[in-house]
Amino acid sequence: MPGKPYILISTSRILCSLLAATVATGCVTAGDRRDYKISAKKSFSSDEIRHAGDPIDRYPALAQHFRLEKEIEAMTIGISAEYVADITGAKKTKKTYFIVEKRIDMSRFASMTRKDLYAEIGRNFDADWNRVKELTLISNTSDFFKKLDAASIYRIRFTTFSPDPVDFTITIEADCGITFIEEMR
C-alpha cells in the first residue's frame, strides 16, 4: 500500500519533534553552580549496598533510594568512587555513571501488573557515554514526573562498569533535608 509508508514517516517525524521538545524543556542542567542550604552525604562500599533490579547498559547497577523533606526548585547530585589501586593502599578514582529516577505508584491502574514504575528524570551521561561529575535537576511543577516533591521516593542507579570493590560517596545538595532510605520493599 503506497499510503502507509507516508503515514509511518509522518508519525516518526512527529515523535521525533515531540522528543526534541521534551529534551529541550527537560529538567536537567549542567549550567551555573547553585548554592544550597543542605548537603547530605552517604558513604558505603559496593559490598554494603543492594543491587538495582534494572541494569545500566546490561551491566549490574547498584541503587540508593532517598526522599526530600519538602518540595524544592532544584537539587544537585554527585557520586564519587574510589578503589585501592595497589598493595600500598593508594586510592584512585573510577568514573561513575548514574541515573536518577522518580518512583511512580502504579497500583491505582488496574491493568498494570507492576506495583511501582521508575520514571527517569536525569542522568549524568549522554548517548556517547560523555559524563559530568554532578547533575542538577530542576523541578517542573506543571509536569508530575519532573516535579521534585516530598511525597515521592527517588532512586539513584549507578555503576562503574567494573566488578572490583569500590567505595562510593553520594552527595545530594538541596534547599531541604534529604533522607536516605536504607531498605526498600
Total structural domains in the chain?
Answer: 1
Domain of residue 167 covers 27-181
Which candidate, 68, 41, 61, places its Cα nearest to that of 157?
A: 61
In a domain, 7, yes or no: no
What's 43's domain CATH number?
2.60.120.380
In a domain, 68, yes or no: yes
pTM, 2 dp: 0.78
In a domain, 102, yes or no: yes
Q: What is the tens place of the pLDDT at every residue in 81-133?
A: 999 888 888 889 999 999 999 998 777 666 656 677 899 999 999 999 999 99
CA–CA separation, 151 vs 148, rounded Å? 9
Q: How does residue 170 score in pLDDT terms, banded at 50, 70 and 90?
A: very high
CA–CA separation, 73 vs 140, rounded Å? 8
In a domain, 105, yes or no: yes
- Give the alpha-carbon dihedral of 123, 129, 132, 134, to 10 degrees: 30
Q: How does residue 141 score in pLDDT terms, banded at 50, 70 and 90?
A: confident
In a domain, 3, yes or no: no
Q: Concatenated DSSP letters for 40-105? A: EEEEEETTTSPBPSS-BTTB--EEEEEEESS--SEEEEEEEEEEE-STT--EEEE--EEEEEEEEE
Return the C-alpha cell found at 93. 578514582
